[in-house]
Amino acid sequence: MNYSLLSLEILVTLLGVTVLLADLWIPASARKLLGYAAATGAGVLLTYAIGSGAPADGTAFGGMFVVDALSNYFKGFFLLAALVVLLLTVDLSDTIKGYAEYCALILFATVGMLFAASANDFVLMFVALELITVTFFVLVSYDRTRSGSLEAGVKYLIMGALASAFMVFGIALIFGSAGTTNFYEIAAHQAELGKSPVFLIGLALTLVGLGFKVAAVPFQMWAPDVYQGAPPLTTAFLATGSKAAGFALLMRVAFSAVPEITAHWSRLILVIGVLTLLYGSLCAIPQRSVKRLMGYSSIANAGYLLLGMAAVSLSGSTAVLTYLGGYIFTVLAGFAVIAVISSRAGSDDVSVFAGLGQRSPILATGLTVSVVSLAGIPPMAGFFGKFLLLKAVANHAGTERFFLVALLAACVGVVISLYYYFNVIRSMFWPKSVPDLTPIAVGGATRLALVLSIVGVFYIGILPNSLVTGARQAAAGLAPQSAVAGHAAAASAPAAAHH
């Protein structure tokens, strides 16, 4: 069979192993090199992935593993996230015990994500997810000296295991009722499968597992605690890679395995989305801990993305993918700053960021850009993404009251979010009390990572065309035609909205 399809996965794994082995020879003083090496590797692979090296479409492992526009789209972002996070580790390497392992684990998690992006079978999906999750158990609790980190780890462990238990049971039921676990084969029989309650229960349980990954209400409980407790860089990777992987699988299952059933469930997804975004926005208001704030904010953002999925249309999927792209840059920029500051101050309370404007312009810029983009304000990436999402929802608001309500709820959510996002900005530039104004030195790698993400945020915000085109292809490769058909049955959206 054609191994070139797996080239990325293989190479990243090798990179991880290399880092582990290299640690045995390299002296502790030069540990930084490992980080650089890992980052460079990721960078090279990234250029390779989005450049010529992108493997042609095809399937492997008897259809379990598929390479298509969607998988390539996501893989690019996974590698990017890995690259940025690894760059960020470099300047913090002294604070991380077992630095090499940390880098390696990040790479292994990346491998899981890469597989997730290509998973075309419930089995592979499960394995990929577990690879990600189990790695993250370790990454979250990596800071063993801090009991917060451990607590977060254990919470993530229990909830994660619970979720995967449900998912496995779900997969069992699916297998039982469908006789197969391959997405394409299931898609072929979804008409009659749609009538079998066992299959539906199984599918629901599987989606529960994915809902846990993307932290959708009511499976979001873990997110704030874990985001707050985990080491900042882990949180960064969790908020970007892991979440994106969740959505990658969600979209695969929803749109390429069971598009018609998804179309029937669009209202359910919509309601979940609205609840999620409102829950996230509301709970974020009184937060003091910035990491916890980001946790709630990531819940809220999952809500917006679910709205896009609920639209069950090409424009909806395009919007979701575009938004995710911008979101990854945005969050990375934010966590880069949070990581630097909180590891310095040993706390991530808002007050720690007071006067950052004077202390380190570049950090302040990074956090500001991130927060403003999250708030969905032009000319940042967040604005365009949100606009596309609202537009996708609006497509059906004309015909379905549910969507109109969702649209307005989303507006309210955005307004609420402004409230706490601007609190962060205010404390950065116009603190209530006078903070210490000792300037903060920022390492080269961190600078690089910051600049990378900030440029990304602005680029996507101002010239989103290339991203949108990519996202559109990816979404189109997702067998959206049947999705549209299925949807047209369910929600009878104006056809013009789809192309």
Partner 1 sequence: MSLSQLLLTPFAGALLVLLVPGNYRVVHRFIALVTTAITALGAVSVFAAFQPGIAGMQFEEQAAWVPAAGFGFHLGVDGVNIGLVLMASLVAFAATCVSWDIEKQPKLFYILLLVMTGGALGAFLSLDLFFLYFFNELALVPTFIMMGVWGRGENRNYATFQITLYLTLGALIGLSGLALLYSQSGANTLDWVTLKAWLAEKPLSGHSQNLILPLLLVGFGTLVGLFPFHSWAAPGYAAAPSATAMMHAGVLKKVGLYVLLRVALPFCPAAMNHWATPLAVLAMGNVLYCGWVALRQRDLFLLLGNSSLAHMGFCFLGLAAANVIGVTGVVLIMVAHGLLAALSFGLAGHLTKVTGTSDIDKLGGLLKTLPFVGGALVMAFLAGCGVPGFANFPGELTVLFGAWKSFPIFVILAAWGGLLIGGVYMLRAIRDLLHGPLRDGSIQGGDAGPWRRVPFLVLLAALLYFGINPGSLSDRIAPSAERIALVKSISAPATVAATAHAAH
Partner 2 sequence: MIPGLHHYLIVSGLLFSLGLFGVLARRSLLVIYMSLELMLNAANLALVAFSRFNNNLNGQVMVFFIITVAAAEVAVGLALIVALYRKRQSAHVEDLTRLKY
Partner 3 sequence: MDAHAAQHAVAASSAFSSRPEDLAWFILLLPLIAAAGIAFGVRRSPFLSSTLSISATVTAFILSVALFLAFGLGGYASSPSPFSWIHVGSLNVDLGLAVDRLSVLMLVIVTGVSALVQIYSTAYLHGDPGLSRYFGSISLFTFSMLGIVLADNLVMMFVFWELVGVSSYLLIGFWFEKPSAADAAKKAFLTNRLGDFGFLLGILVVWSATGSVSFTEIGNALGGNPTALGGLASIAGLLIFCGAMGKSAQFPLHVWLPDAMEGPTPVSALIHAATMVAAGVYMLCRSYVLFQAPGAWPAHLWFLGDITALDIIAIIGGFTALLAALIAFQQDDIKRILAYSTLSQLGYMVMAVGCGGPDAAMYHLTTHAGFKALLFLGAGAVIHACHHEQDIWKMGGLWHRLPVTFRTFAIGTAALAGVPILTSGFYSKDAILVAALDGGHPVLFGLGVLVAAFTPFYMLRLVIVAFFGKPRTDAARHAHEAPMAMTWPLIALAIPSIAVAWFGLGDFLSAHFNPHFHAHEGGGLFGPFNHAPLAAVFGTGSLIFGVTAAFGIYWGATTDPLPERLGLLSRAMRNRFYFDEVYEAIFVPMHDMVGRLAAAVDRWVVSGLGIRGAHGSVELAGRALRLLQTGNLQTYTFLFAAGVAVVVFVATK
Q: Which residues bind partner 3 (CB under 8 A)?
A: 154-155, 158-159, 162-163, 166, 197, 200-201, 203-205, 207-208, 211-212, 217-219, 221-222, 224-225, 265, 268, 272, 279, 282-287, 416
Q: Are residues 369 and 380 in contact, defined by beta-carbon separation less than 8 angstroms?
A: yes
Task: State the nearest-atom distance from the C-beta of 405 to partner 3, in Å.
Answer: 17
Longest dimension (CA), the chain: 67
Among partner 2, partner 1, partner 3, none, residue 185 binds (CB under 5-8 Å by kind): none
Backbone angles phi, psi at 211, to 5 degrees: -60, -35
- In the list 22, 362, 394, 405, the residue contacting partner 1 (rule: CB under 8 A) is 394
Task: State the nearest-atom distance from the C-beta of 470 to partner 1, in Å.
Answer: 9
**Is 211 or 461 the residue whose CB approaches partner 3 more closely?**
211
Among partner 2, partner 3, partner 1, none, residue 219 binds (CB under 5-8 Å by kind): partner 3
Task: State the nearest-atom distance from the C-beta of 494 to partner 1, in Å.
Answer: 6
The closest of 469, 456, 475, 484 to 248, measured between CA atoms, is 475
Among partner 2, partner 3, partner 1, none, residue 414 binds (CB under 5-8 Å by kind): partner 1
**Is 44 or 161 the residue whose CB approaches partner 2 more closely?**
161
* Among the residue ranges 13-21, 130-138, 338-346, 374-382, the one whose residues contact partner 2 (CB under 8 A): 130-138
Distance, CA of 70 to CA of 134 (rounded, Å): 25
353: Cβ–Cβ under 8 A, 6 or more apart, which residues?
Answer: 290, 341, 367, 424, 427, 428
Q: Are residues 37 and 93 in contact, defined by beta-carbon separation less than 8 angstroms?
A: no
Task: State the nearest-atom distance from the C-beta of 113 to partner 1, in Å.
Answer: 26
Task: State the nearest-atom distance from the C-beta of 295 to partner 2, in Å.
Answer: 10
Q: Are residues 75 and 114 in contact, defined by beta-carbon separation less than 8 angstroms?
A: yes
- In the list 93, 120, 164, 266, the residue contacting partner 2 (rule: CB under 8 A) is 164
Render the burial of 101-138: b for 16+ CB within 10 Å, e for the rest. bbbbbbbbbbbbbbbbbbbbbbebbbbbbbbbbbbbbb
Nearest-Å Rg of the Cα atoms of the chain is: 21
Burial class of residue 379 (count of CB atoms within 10 Å of its CB; 0-12, 13-18, 19+)? middle
Give how many residues touch partner 1 by CB under 8 A: 40
Distance, CA of 210 to CA of 129 (rounded, Å): 9
Residue 296 in tokens: 């709630």
Among partner 1, partner 2, partner 3, none, residue 3 binds (CB under 5-8 Å by kind): none
Among partner 1, partner 3, partner 2, none, residue 152 binds (CB under 5-8 Å by kind): partner 2
**Is 58 or 398 the residue whose CB approaches partner 1 more closely?**
398
Among partner 3, partner 1, partner 2, none, residue 426 binds (CB under 5-8 Å by kind): partner 1
Backbone angles phi, psi at 60, to 5 degrees: -135, 175
**Is 225 or 400 the residue whose CB approaches partner 2 more closely?**
225
Q: Are residues 363 and 424 in contact, defined by beta-carbon separation less than 8 angstroms?
A: no
Asked if 153 interacts with partner 2 (CB under 8 A), we say yes
Task: State the nearest-atom distance from the C-beta of 347 to partner 1, in Å.
Answer: 26
* Among the residue ranges 165-173, 270-278, 335-343, 470-478, the one whose residues contact partner 2 (CB under 8 A): 165-173
Task: State the nearest-atom distance from the C-beta of 480 to partner 3, in Å.
Answer: 22
Task: State the nearest-atom distance from the C-beta of 355 to partner 2, in Å.
Answer: 27
- In the list 110, 318, 370, 446, the residue contacting partner 1 (rule: CB under 8 A) is 318
End-to-end distance of the chain based on CA atoms, in angstroms? 36
Question: What is the β-pairing status of strands 58-60 and 65-67?
Answer: antiparallel
Task: State the nearest-atom distance from the C-beta of 370 to partner 1, in Å.
Answer: 15
Asked if 168 interacts with partner 2 (CB under 8 A), we say yes
- In the list 82, 472, 480, 484, the residue contacting partner 1 (rule: CB under 8 A) is 472
Asked if 469 interacts with partner 1 (CB under 8 A), we say yes
Task: State the nearest-atom distance from the C-beta of 307 to partner 1, in Å.
Answer: 12
Asked if 497 interacts with partner 1 (CB under 8 A), we say yes
**Where in 217-246 is the site for partner 2 (CB under 8 A)?**
224-225, 228-229
Asked if 141 interacts with partner 2 (CB under 8 A), we say yes
Binding site for partner 1 (CB under 8 A): 315, 318, 372, 377-379, 383, 387-388, 390-391, 393-398, 404, 407-408, 411-412, 414-415, 418-419, 422, 426, 429-430, 463-465, 468-469, 472, 493-494, 496-497
Binding site for partner 2 (CB under 8 A): 123, 126-127, 130, 134, 137-138, 141, 144, 147-148, 150-155, 157-158, 161-162, 164-166, 168-169, 171-173, 175-176, 179-181, 224-225, 228-229
